Amino acid sequence: MKIVAALTDPTHAAKARKQGADVIELRVDLYDGDLKKIAKKAKESSGLPVILTLRSAQEGGQFFGTPEEWMAKLAPLLPYADYVDVERQFANNVPALRDAGKKVIASHHSGQMVPLYILFVMERELRVYGDIPKIVVTPQGDEDVIELLSFTQAANKPICTGVMGDRFRHARAMLPLFGSEFVYCHTGVPTAAGQYSVEEFAALRKILGV
């Protein structure tokens, strides 16, 4: 498993590494200012692989533009990225990202639970254009958590799974044990409810020996 520091504040990039992060996520939709300078400084100060994420409003972010505007905003930042998070509505931009040598995290975020058989369908659909499917859902009960764990264990790898909200935040700690590639954490201010801090998860990983 890899700990991803999802940065609401890009100046925390070096701090993320010191706390135990393996990767940093730059939430470009949350930043103001010169994004190219921000990305360059974060990459250089952390020395870690970088995920660029421009999250749409439909999936919980602050980007309201078109697929063309999405690509135009990210293009100058690509030299500082290793991965780009791509929602399905932006998938037409993937050939350009691949030409730039970037890996694609094909993501889907849902405010509800997705039935188990749909999770497998979704994984196949996301893998058509992405290197790592990322599926984040909102469980409504313990049975949903068990289904998500079962899916994570059985799905083709690599896979990234997660949950939204505080109620079942313990699932965030369990999913990597069942094969989820990344666990998204924070360095001070969460990008999503229920996130653990990088320090908390680094300590948990050491305790579990994984």
Residues 6+ apart with CB under 8 A from 124: none
How many residues are present in the chain?
210
Quote the pLDDT of residue 20. 97
Q: Is the preceding omega at residue 158 within 30 degrees of 0, hence cis?
A: yes
Q: Which residues are catalytic?
A: 109, 134
Q: 72 pLDDT exceeds 80? A: yes
Residue 24 β-bridge partners: 5, 50
Per-residue confidence at 191, pLDDT binned at 50, 70, 90? confident
pLDDT score of 192 more than 90: no
Q: Is the pLDDT of residue 86 over 80?
A: yes
Which domains are present in the chain? 2-208 (3.20.20.70)
Could you tell me what percent of the chain has a pLDDT over 70? Answer: 100
Convert the pLDDT of each residue in 129-188 to its tens digit: 999 999 999 999 999 999 999 999 999 999 999 999 999 999 999 999 999 999 999 999
Q: Is the pLDDT of residue 210 over 90?
A: no
pLDDT at res. 118: 97
Q: What is the pLDDT of residue 208?
A: 85
Beta bridge partners of 104: 84
